[in-house]
């Protein structure tokens, strides 16, 4: 009977000893148990700016890579909305991977596809001139990680021939 209790105590010590030790060591910073402290490089994120090219009907994304390693942008999709009337007028999409070298910038050209509702809205609500637009529902895949954003990103005025 005593051997049973000794084996139980040893099993509990082996199972819970490291957990208790980690809690004691990190008692002033419990988040360090789940998120390592050496992830400081993630505090800098790639910067993205958008520029509309009317002649080619493309959005140029200027992306800066602040890391010491290359980034691979695998795909990107987003919807384009009329910011005045909250109507989807088009979308952008690319499945072509783009590599951005370490500590450098790149321009990713994304062709705009106008939706049929967008064409109708453009003609009826804006008399065929221009639409103040914004990107919404952005989905970006970088290094195999899918990132999404529901925050609208203003593009400014866009025109369609």
User: pLDDT tens across 19-46, in order?
Assistant: 878 778 777 776 666 655 544 444 455 6
User: In this predicted model, what pLDDT tens digit does every residue of 72-91 receive, in sequence order?
Assistant: 888 888 999 999 899 998 89
9: left (phi over 0), alpha (psi -120 to 50) or beta: alpha
The domain containing residue 27 runs over which residues?
2-33
pLDDT at 44: 57
Same domain, 115 and 152: yes
Task: Output the CA torsion 127→129→134→139 (10° steps).
Answer: 90
Same domain, 49 and 26: no
Residue 83 within any structural domain of the chain = yes
Residue 39 within any structural domain of the chain = no
Number of independent structural domains in the chain: 2
Residue 93 within any structural domain of the chain = yes
Does the pTM surpass 0.75? The reply is no
Residue 10 within any structural domain of the chain = yes
């Amino acid at each position: 009977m005593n051997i049973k209790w000794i084996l139980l105590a040893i099993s509990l010590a082996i199972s819970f000893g490291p957990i208790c030790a980690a809690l004691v060591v990190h008692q002033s910073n419990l988040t360090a148990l789940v998120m390592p402290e050496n992830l400081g490089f993630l505090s800098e994120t790639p910067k993205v700016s958008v520029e509309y090219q009317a002649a080619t009907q493309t959005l140029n994304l200027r992306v800066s890579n602040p890391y010491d390693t290359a980034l691979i942008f695998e795909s990107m999709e987003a919807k384009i909305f009329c910011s005045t009337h909250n109507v989807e007028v088009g979308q952008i999409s690319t499945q072509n991977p783009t590599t951005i070298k370490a500590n450098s910038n790149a321009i990713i050209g994304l062709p705009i596809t106008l939706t049929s509702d967008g064409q109708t809205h453009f003609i009826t609500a804006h008399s065929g001139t221009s639409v103040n637009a914004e990107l919404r529902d952005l989905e970006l895949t970088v290094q195999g990680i899918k990132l999404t954003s529901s925050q609208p990103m203003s593009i400014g005025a866009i025109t369609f021939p």
